[in-house]
Structure 1
């Protein structure tokens, strides 16, 4: 089982160790960070997060409750109280945990926080079109593809396109009810 816990300064070394090359940093953060990822940069990233009364971003580490090991990272940001919407960002499963279903569990946990605790109506995300394993994970969690933003990020000699995906609260509730049967 996965539990999402607030990402804190104590978690910086693990995340920095996972993101050990420029391409992975770009895939994980878009243009938010420059390589190398450092503790100084991460201090800014978590400033003002995880306060249910005032934050527009919630940054989590994913912990495997059976082992106590941190296995990933995920954030729920761009929170709009007016639109009851947010965006899943910076999803990463650590090297040793990949291919074991953790991504799906992390997404489900984040959706539960968004729809149950934060009372959102819509959660969106963007994923680079070449990341087919992530796209499959998001589809299995109930996200629907809504469009493609072509050539949005330049990397080395090419461009990356972004697949936009979203899920609405009634769709999520319907999936939850079906899973209970």
Structure 2
């Protein structure tokens, strides 16, 4: 089964309510931003989204189904450094009914391609919670390589777990 066609388009502030609905589901945010664990109101989500959209060092894109234009996630590159030509990839697929369909892999490939071609980056890294094996596999399919391990760097559901550091370089991407 192939992934549904997606489009990556900038987010809008009026989509805060969609994010608020997503982060009310503990399973959606289990391995996501620590900030999402604290956002318990639409006002806090709106404040976060406003600051996120204003961040000039980040590429923030909505993940939309091409056919219906439904917003199903958020992805991009944060903390971009022009001096180092580097940034950190992130993704949140908020609509669980689309999990496991290859969307995360496709989104990752598209965002990484933009990072290298349009933003002039040389290195894109990420951290992923080790128990998030679906994420790890999606990143590996998108050419990310394991660089290291941050031991017990995340505390969720009453237990610590490791975070994996992965990256892809422009030269590796070009050799696809």
Q: Given the two structures, how large is their TM-score scaled by the length of structure 1?
A: 0.84
Residues 129-140 of structure 1: matches in 2 within 5 Å? 129-140=130-141
- Per the alignment, residue 36 of structure 2 pairs with 33
- Per the alignment, residue 159 of structure 1 pairs with 160
- Cα 1:15/1:88, change in 2 over 3 Å: same
Runs of 4+ deviating beyond 6 Å: none
Q: Report the Cα offset of residue 161 of structure 1.
A: 0.9
Q: Report the Cα offset of residue 74 of structure 1.
A: 1.2
Q: Which residue, 39, 45, 59 being the options, matches 2:48?
A: 45
- Per the alignment, residue 144 of structure 1 pairs with 145
Q: Structure 1: 5+ residue runs without aligned partners?
A: 176-181
Conservation of the 8 A alpha-carbon contact between 1:145 and 1:166 = yes
User: RMSD across aligned C-alpha pairs, in angstroms?
Assistant: 2.1
- Cα 1:97/1:37, change in 2 over 3 Å: farther
Q: Structure 2: 5+ residue runs without aligned partners?
A: none
Q: Given the two structures, how large is their TM-score scaled by the length of structure 2?
A: 0.87
Q: Report the Cα offset of residue 22 of structure 1.
A: 4.1
Conservation of the 8 A alpha-carbon contact between 2:23 and 2:36 = no
| Whole-angstrom distance in 2 between the partners of 1:149 and 1:165 | 11
Q: Report the Cα offset of residue 173 of structure 1.
A: 1.2
Q: Report the Cα offset of residue 49 of structure 1.
A: 4.9
| Whole-angstrom distance in 2 between the partners of 1:65 and 1:21 | 25
Residues 7-86 of structure 1: matches in 2 within 5 Å? 7-22=11-26, 24-29=28-33, 31-47=34-50, 49=52, 55-86=56-87
| Whole-angstrom distance in 2 between the partners of 1:65 and 1:88 | 22
Deviations 1:27-47 (A, max 9, x none): 211x22334443322334344
Conservation of the 8 A alpha-carbon contact between 2:20 and 2:45 = no
